[in-house]
Structure 1
Amino acid sequence: MTAAVAAAPPAAAAAAPSPHRPACPQLSRKLSWYGDNREHLQDVIDRRGTCAGHRRTPVAAFDWDNTVTKNDVTDATITWSLRHDKILRPARWKDTSAWMTDEADRALTAACGTDVPVGAPLPTSTDTGCADEILEIREDARTMSGAAAFAGEWNHRRTVPQYAWVPQLFAGHTVAELTAYTEKARQEALAAPVGSTRTVGTHTVPAYVRYYAQQRDLIRTLQRAGFDVYIVSAGSEPVTEVWSRGVGVDRRHTIAIRSILDRRGRITTRNQGCGDVPDSKGEAIPYIDGKRCWINQEIYGVHGAAAWQRQDARRRVTIAGGDADTDVTFVGDATGAHLVLNRNKNEIMCRAYDDADGRWVINPMFIEPLPRRTDPYPCASTAYNEPDGSRGPVRREDGSVVPAQRDTVSGPAGTSDRL
Structure 2
Amino acid sequence: MKRQRGGIRTAGRLVAAACATATATVFVAGALPGRAWAAGESPYTFDGAAEQIDGAASSLDSQQLKAGQSYRDSIKKDGKLYYRVDLDAKQNAYVSVVAVPKPGARAEYGDGIKVSLQDGSGTQCGYQEASFGSAGFTRPVTAYAARTIEPDSSICQQAGAYYVLVERTSKAVSTPEDWELEIRHLTEPGVKKTGPTELPENWPSGTPQPPAGGPQKRQGGAGFHDATSLRQGEWRSDIKPGQTLFYRVPVDWGQQIFASAELGSSASGDTYVGNALVLSLDNPARGHVDQDTVGYDGDPATLALDPHRPVAFENRYSSNSYTSALRFAGWYYLSATLSPDIAKAYGDKPVPLTLRVNVTGTAKAGPAYDGDAGPFKVTEDDRDAAADGRSGAEADRSDVMRVVAAAGIGSGTVLVLGLGVWTVVARRRGAA
Q: TM-score, normalised by structure 2?
A: 0.24
Which of the two has higher C-alpha Rg? 2
Structure ranking higher in helix proportion:
1
TM-score (norm 1): 0.25
Q: Which has the higher strand share?
A: 2
If asked which structure has higher relative contact order (CA below 8 Å, sep 6+), I would say 1
